[in-house]
């Protein structure tokens, strides 16, 4: 009888665990990693980048509307510029690369009252396997991506990107390994 109860317990709890994992849709993390080059100096210039503030309670529908507006606004306002001499210099600017777009979106969202504990930067491989940075927004329904290469805010699983590392949502000055997405398995050792 004890064995039957144990087996039954496993079968009852598996669907509950599966539903939580699917419904949550948060990017998994696997431990700490050093921040990307340029992050520390950006934190020194922009205290909001590495400090948590604001309530973490949000309404997903309203939050998604705000995220879409900010993503479109910044994508239209910031001029894309690739300057290899400034690859490690991150800034909120009217022109720049993906890092600068992501920072500008974060600053804009914080300015309109979006909770900092719901925002994080993330280093990804884009569909062409090139390094890229996006902004993550954590809603109750999961993690969404604001991207200068897309006019639409999408759930992270629908971007086609491989997520390598992300800023910690709670401890803003630290980063975490993510390794999630289509190419993630190529980073694991056998």
Whether 159 is covered by a domain: the verdict is: yes
Whether 11 is covered by a domain: the verdict is: no
Select from 50, 108, 38, 52 the least CA-distant residue to 76: 108
**CATH code, domain carrying 135:** 3.10.620.30
The number of distinct structural domains making up the chain is: 1
Whether 52 is covered by a domain: the verdict is: yes
Alpha carbons within 13 A on the beta-carbon side of 61: 0
Per-residue pLDDT tens for 93-108?
899 999 999 999 999 9
Per-residue pLDDT tens for 120-168?
999 999 999 999 999 999 999 999 999 999 999 999 999 999 999 999 9
Whether 15 is covered by a domain: the verdict is: no
* pTM of the entire predicted model: 0.84
Confidence class for position 185, pLDDT limits 50, 70, 90: confident
Q: What count of other Cβ atoms lies within 10 Å of the Cβ of residue 152?
A: 12
Whether 141 is covered by a domain: the verdict is: yes
Whether 8 is covered by a domain: the verdict is: no
Whether 3 is covered by a domain: the verdict is: no
Q: Which domain holds residue 35?
A: 26-187
Whether 77 is covered by a domain: the verdict is: yes
């Amino acid at each position: 009888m004890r064995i039957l109860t144990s087996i039954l317990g496993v079968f009852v709890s598996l669907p509950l665990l599966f539903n939580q994992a699917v419904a949550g849709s948060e990017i998994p993390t696997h431990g700490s990693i050093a921040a990307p080059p340029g992050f520390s100096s950006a934190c020194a210039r922009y205290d909001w980048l590495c400090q948590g503030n604001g309530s973490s309670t949000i309404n997903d529908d309203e939050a998604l509307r705000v995220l879409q507006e900010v993503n479109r606004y910044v994508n239209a306002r910031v001029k894309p510029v690739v300057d290899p001499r400034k690859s490690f210099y991150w800034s909120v600017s009217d022109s720049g690369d993906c890092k600068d777009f992501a920072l500008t979106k974060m600053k804009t969202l914080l300015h309109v009252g979006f909770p900092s504990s719901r925002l994080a930067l993330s280093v990804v491989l884009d569909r062409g396997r090139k390094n890229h940075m996006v902004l993550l927004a954590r809603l109750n329904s999961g993690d969404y991506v604001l991207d200068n290469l897309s006019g639409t805010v999408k759930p992270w699983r629908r971007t086609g990107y491989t997520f390598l590392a992300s800023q910690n949502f709670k401890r803003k000055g630290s980063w975490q390994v993510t390794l999630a997405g289509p190419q993630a398995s190529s980073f694991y050792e056998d």
